[in-house]
Amino acid sequence: MDFDLIQSLMKQNETGKIVLLVMDGLGGLPMEEGGKTELEAAHTPNMDALAKKSMLGLHQGIRTGITPGSGPAHLSLFGYDPLQYKVGRGVLSALGIDFDLKRTDVAARGNFCTVDEQGRITDRRAGRIPTEVSERLCDLLNEKVNIPEVEVFLRVVKEYRFLLVVRGEGLSANIEETDPQVIGEKPLPAKAVDKASEKAAEIVQEFVRQAEVILADESPANMLLLRGFAQWPDWPMFPEVFDLKSIAIAMYPMYRGVAKLVGMDSPPASHSYEEEIDLLEKEWGNYDFFFVHIKKTDSYGEDGNFENKVGEIEKVDALLPRILALDPSVLIITGDHSTPCAMKYHSWHPVPVLFYSKLSRPDGIGSFGERACLKGGLGSRFPAYELMPLALAHANRLEKFGA
Amino acid sequence: MDFDLIQSLMKQNETGKIVLLVMDGLGGLPMEEGGKTELEAAHTPNMDALAKKSMLGLHQGIRTGITPGSGPAHLSLFGYDPLQYKVGRGVLSALGIDFDLKRTDVAARGNFCTVDEQGRITDRRAGRIPTEVSERLCDLLNEKVNIPEVEVFLRVVKEYRFLLVVRGEGLSANIEETDPQVIGEKPLPAKAVDKASEKAAEIVQEFVRQAEVILADESPANMLLLRGFAQWPDWPMFPEVFDLKSIAIAMYPMYRGVAKLVGMDSPPASHSYEEEIDLLEKEWGNYDFFFVHIKKTDSYGEDGNFENKVGEIEKVDALLPRILALDPSVLIITGDHSTPCAMKYHSWHPVPVLFYSKLSRPDGIGSFGERACLKGGLGSRFPAYELMPLALAHANRLEKFGA
């Protein structure tokens, strides 16, 4: 999307409010031939009634056939083409565990691994050690690693995976990963790809040397591998690009994190859908844009639990009247990607969108589901990053182009 | 399409097989107001049954409103944007007659023409002399032309058209065409556009001088014009880009040739649809990607023979159970372009697509035809080169993008 075009057309002092309600992993598939998808199967009287007054369609987060990760998928919903705005894995790992990353930190994603006596990798995941073991190893490294002039933080993510953060002055993250991704080889050195990253690469290399000694007697996790070195990206910020005071309302750190990455306010976690809507109501007067994130649709998708995914959609439907009572100028109900229970994984399938506004031209479709959305005016495979300009238009926030 | 993106996401060691079944010139038009298209008129119980479990849509090979030639149309189906990957006419002419072009050859498409006593063109096509006459002239030139250190090949294509190939060392094809495309002017010199093409241009110029003498007493074809100088392009190869061992199964040289151009194996011609499917079955264990080409739908389209084009589609439908019995991960049934009997020519009209996979989200449409495809999830005018990423996704061959 062309931020310059949007910015050149922004109206001043408009007050229309926009709600982006994201049910994670919303899109689905039938479990058997001739069956319904999760959204089609769900009893959603409120969404169906709203569909009649709305525009429908299906979006793609990245490109045709490409399965989105959660980070890029949300960036696309926020109007950022994820092929242009790439986030390193190190930063995503930090966001995912609510680590308070500074703009100058260098972050990497790590694996504990197993090496033999010659230092050659025998297991890249150290037998998938449980989270508690990794937690103890991170504590050990936090305690014992000592590098002058910088701080080094280790935080467990899950199982054998952890986050490494180096904090100091003059650090850049253009560093080659140490994971050769092959069994039987030694970990690679952390080489700087450019001049600016030499200092950070040396520090990482020193960290690896110390870690090797500290972990030497552990089993099976006696070594570590580092990937996805990254720094907080220097992007145009969402509240400035779109002139929207913006807040993220979410239960999980990853989604508050991605929102923070583009400059949205990101208050502490809510603990239930009801609490999320409570916060939406409470902050209604203070913001223009509200990103509300619903996690469990995705979790049940990954579990392959069709019934429970349907149930979560129905819970959200029941809360819809509270959102509508706030009278938003625009309400978008969608997902970030598909997570069909039939696949138990993220997928590339386009994601249903319900776009409601008093100014939207209704498609005349009476329900919200994948096949209903096929008939909608938004199209069946439009880029997710087109939603933001559309939302601004319907919120009466854009001037016309040319005379 | 972004080959780098696809390559960065390719999974290793996946085994899902993809069949691309192309009925040449499939798309059509009604012959009279209120009538059906060829595909709509055809009785296709097997395709209709498959449509219920598939995604439908209509593709465009090049861009909106642009009528594709066969070469670019197939490149687009293979994932290559034909505006980015351009094949010279010389190379296409060689492919079309099964000439075994070497990577260092320079090829051009030629016309026999008629010139007056001053050497000015009076007929750019020499009265459209029949193929047999051109064949004799090509033989004559093959026998008499003599240029040191290079080989020169002339091969008749059809009627007044022929192929010229220059084989030797250090040749490049950036050469201006000799056809002024105006009556009353003399043929232009074959000028090199860059330094690297100077040697080849001089050889072509010498060939033209000798041909002028050899043809002087012929009538009406007493001269020749050369266009579309080209060399085998240096492109990323399909089997490497998509990590698919690939084979083309086709009855006509042009289609085996275009497949060869992108690196597919291209065994000798089959002689019937049944033989094509025999070969598909025989090679099923040896390849990952199967391009199966059906020619006669296009031929009958160009003849304006509605009934026979319908008949060819029905023959293909009858063979479908044999393809499905192989249990492909993905089966795409489409055309390369439209050849409506009502027009007797290639056209720009979008081409119906049936995209079947166990992981495809069914559109719930019960037949395969132009109007049915309008309601499908693939969209009504999507770029043909998006089919390959989609096929890879459904064959479980792509990782997700980002975390």
The CATH number of residue A167's host domain is 3.30.70
Report the complex ipTM: 0.89
pLDDT at B148: 95
The CATH number of residue A281's host domain is 3.40.720.10
Cβ–Cβ below 8 Å for A343 and B362: no
State pLDDT tens for residues A175-213: 999 999 889 999 999 999 999 999 999 999 999 999 999
pLDDT at A1: 67
Q: Which residues of A touch B375 (CB under 8 A)?
A: 374-375
CB proximity A58 to B under 8 Å: yes
Q: Which residues of B touch A71 (CB under 8 A)?
A: 402-403
CB proximity B393 to A under 8 Å: yes
Among A231, A228, A226, A230, smallest CA distance to A110 is for: A226
Q: Which residues of B touch A111 (CB under 8 A)?
A: none
Q: Count structural domains, chain B.
A: 2
CB proximity A161 to B under 8 Å: no
CB proximity A67 to B under 8 Å: yes
Domain boundary among A184, A203, A230: A230
Q: Which 3 state secondary structure label does DSSP give A307? A: helix
pLDDT at B14: 87
CB proximity A352 to B under 8 Å: no
Residue A399 in any domain: the answer is: no
Evaluate whether B333 touches B21 at the Cβ level (below 8 Å). yes
Domain boundary among B176, B209, B230: B230
Cβ–Cβ below 8 Å for A67 and B399: yes
Q: Are residues A244 and A383 in the same domain?
A: yes
- Is the dihedral angle over the CA atoms B30, B36, B41, B44 positive or is it negative? positive
The reply to whether the predicted model has a pTM over 0.80 is yes
pLDDT at B306: 98
Q: Are residues B325 and B220 in the same domain?
A: no
State pLDDT tens for residues A17-69: 999 999 999 999 999 999 999 999 999 999 999 999 999 999 999 999 999 99
Residue B403 in any domain: the answer is: no
pLDDT at B403: 79
The amino acid present at B316, given as its one-letter code, is V
Residue A154 in any domain: the answer is: yes
| Structure token pair of residue B30 | 């009604």
Mean pLDDT per 10-residue segment, chain B (403 residues): 90 92 98 97 98 97 96 97 94 91 95 96 95 96 96 95 97 96 95 97 97 96 96 95 97 92 93 96 98 96 97 98 98 98 98 97 95 96 97 96 88
Q: Are residues B108 and B214 in the same domain?
A: yes
Q: Are residues A31 and A119 in the same domain?
A: no
Compute the residue count for chain B.
403
Q: Are residues B75 and B127 in the same domain?
A: no
Cβ–Cβ below 8 Å for A66 and B379: no
pLDDT at B386: 97
Residue located via tokens 């998928």: A73
Cβ–Cβ below 8 Å for B361 and A29: yes
CB proximity A36 to B under 8 Å: no
Residue B381 in any domain: the answer is: yes
Q: Are residues B278 and B210 in the same domain?
A: no
**DSSP bridge partners of B354:** B56, B333
| Range of the structural domain that residue A291 is part of | 3-85+236-394
pLDDT at B379: 95
CB proximity A86 to B under 8 Å: yes
| Structure token pair of residue B82 | 């034909």
Residue B402 in any domain: the answer is: no
Nearest to B389 among A33, A64, A70 (CB): A64
Nearest to A66 among B9, B376, B388 (CB): B9
Residue of A nearest to B383 (CA): A64
Q: Are residues B256 and B346 in the same domain?
A: yes
Domain boundary among A196, A230, A264: A230
Q: What distance in Å separates the CA atoms of residue B287 and residue A299, rounded to the nearest whole number?
A: 37
Nearest to A65 among B53, B361, B392 (CB): B392
Residue of B nearest to A91 (CA): B403
Q: Are residues A252 and A390 in the same domain?
A: yes
CB proximity B379 to A under 8 Å: yes
Residue B401 in any domain: the answer is: no
CB proximity A83 to B under 8 Å: yes
The burial class, CB within 10 Å (0-12 / 13-18 / 19+), for A15 is: exposed
Residue of A nearest to B393 (CA): A65
Q: What distance in Å separates the CA atoms of residue B373 and residue B370, rounded to the nearest whole number?
A: 5
Residue of A nearest to B366 (CA): A34
Q: Are residues A68 and A129 in the same domain?
A: no
Q: Are residues A256 and A375 in the same domain?
A: yes
pLDDT at B2: 86
Q: Which residues of A touch B400 (CB under 8 A)?
A: 66-69, 346
| pLDDT beneath 50, residues of chain A | none
What's the CA angle centered on B79, arms B317 and B333, to 5 degrees? 10
CB proximity A357 to B under 8 Å: no
pLDDT at B1: 66
Nearest to B363 among A347, A349, A374 (CB): A374
Residue A357 in any domain: the answer is: yes
Q: Which residues are within 8 A (CB) of A285 and not within 5 positions of it... i.e. 6 or more apart? A: none
Q: Are residues B345 and B196 in the same domain?
A: no
Q: Are residues B246 and B377 in the same domain?
A: yes
Q: Which residues of A touch B386 (CB under 8 A)?
A: 64-65
Residue B400 in any domain: the answer is: no
